[in-house]
Structure 1
Amino acid sequence: MSVPAAGRVAAVDLGEVRCGIAISDETATIARPLEVVGEGEVEERLRGLIDREGVSVVVVGVPKTMRGEEGPQARKVLEKIGRMRERFPAVRFVEWDERLTTRLAGGGKKKGPVDHLAAAHMLQEYLWARRS
């Protein structure tokens, strides 16, 4: 897994209603949660991050089953990733196994949306993995 030297990395936790977005720092070392947006706003928000923040890689969580298989929800997400790849051909989209990220982000105690925290957790995992 290599990331281009230039450009930030973003992550998206895609949901059917809301989606979490996270972004890395300029050195693509540290992830930070950015925001929770409606499902219909994700591509517009990504366009802004690509144009204004120099995002060149987007990590997207694929919700696999606990057995590591792709169920119906994962297939929906993979279809969305395919559409985003067509819309943003200059951006590299990385499919990332997101099992348990929402639960880890919320710790079972947080109230309200934690999708952006889940995206940041997933992004930090990716950033660590690419450095190993």
Structure 2
Amino acid sequence: MEQVRILALDIGEKRVGVAISDPMGWTAQGLEVVQRAPDDQWLERIQQVITDYEVEKIVIGLPRNMDGTIGPRGEACKELGEHVQQRFQLPVVMWDERLSTVAVERTLISADMSRKKRKKVVDQLAASWILQGYLDAQRGSLHD
């Protein structure tokens, strides 16, 4: 079985949630949250993750409106996806992230996690949610 590590990014205005797949591409694990500054310095940390984990593909959460259309945030994410693809020379897949943050927030609230603690992990968990959805869809398409 081919081993490919996939990186997922949940890109927000201030923070970027980072998740990584296991080598077999079955599960997503939240890795960290990277603070996003106006410059591209946060991408240096992403480069380190790509190198450390020998990443071969990047999945970026694409925020869509509930009707499926892409608004200004989605367009900004697509532009950033192109920038990431050019910078790292890796395939980038934009993945529908509708409801990922909402689902993660609900899970954390039901786990009775304080708002302060939720804020620290929600982006990382949203990246995991996005990546797990992508991995599950890929596995499903292998069995069709």
Normalised to the residue count of structure 2, the TM-score between the two structures is 0.83
Classify the secondary structure of the residue corresponding to 1:27: coil
Q: Could you tell me how far 1:48 is from its partner in structure 2?
A: 1.1
2-side partners of 1:83 and 1:63: how far apart? 17
Pairs aligned (count): 128
More helix by share: 2
Q: Could you tell me how far 1:87 is from its partner in structure 2?
A: 0.4
2-side partners of 1:98 and 1:81: how far apart? 14
Instruction: Give the equivalent residue in structure 2 for 1:104.
Output: 103
Normalised to the residue count of structure 1, the TM-score between the two structures is 0.90
2-side partners of 1:99 and 1:15: how far apart? 14
Moved beyond 6 Å, runs of 4+ = none
Instruction: Give the equivalent residue in structure 2 for 1:122.
Output: 130
Instruction: Give the equivalent residue in structure 2 for 1:69.
Output: 69
Q: Please list, as runs of the form range in 1=range in 2, the aligned pairs for 1:1-132 lying within 5 A after superposition.
A: 5-40=2-37, 41-89=41-89, 91-107=90-106, 109=109, 110=113, 111=115, 112-113=119-120, 114-132=122-140
Q: Could you tell me how far 1:85 is from its partner in structure 2?
A: 1.1
Deviation by residue 1:81-101 (Cα, 9 ceiling, x = unmatched): 111111011x11110000010
Larger Rg: 2
Q: Partner letter of residue 19 of structure 2?
A: A
Runs of 5+ consecutive residues of structure 2 not aligned to the other structure? none
Classify the secondary structure of the residue corresponding to 1:95: strand
Q: Partner letter of residue 94 of structure 1?
A: V
Q: Could you tell me how far 1:6 is from its partner in structure 2?
A: 3.5
Q: Could you tell me how far 1:34 is from its partner in structure 2?
A: 0.8
What fraction of aligned residue pairs are identical, expressed as a percent?
Answer: 38
Q: Could you tell me how far 1:122 is from its partner in structure 2?
A: 0.7
Q: Partner letter of residue 131 of structure 1?
A: R
Deviation by residue 1:97-129 (Cα, 9 ceiling, x = unmatched): 000100111216242230000000110011110
Runs of 5+ consecutive residues of structure 1 not aligned to the other structure? none
- The answer to whether the 8 Å contact 1:106/1:117 transfers is no
- The answer to whether the 8 Å contact 2:11/2:61 transfers is yes
Classify the secondary structure of the residue corresponding to 2:94: strand
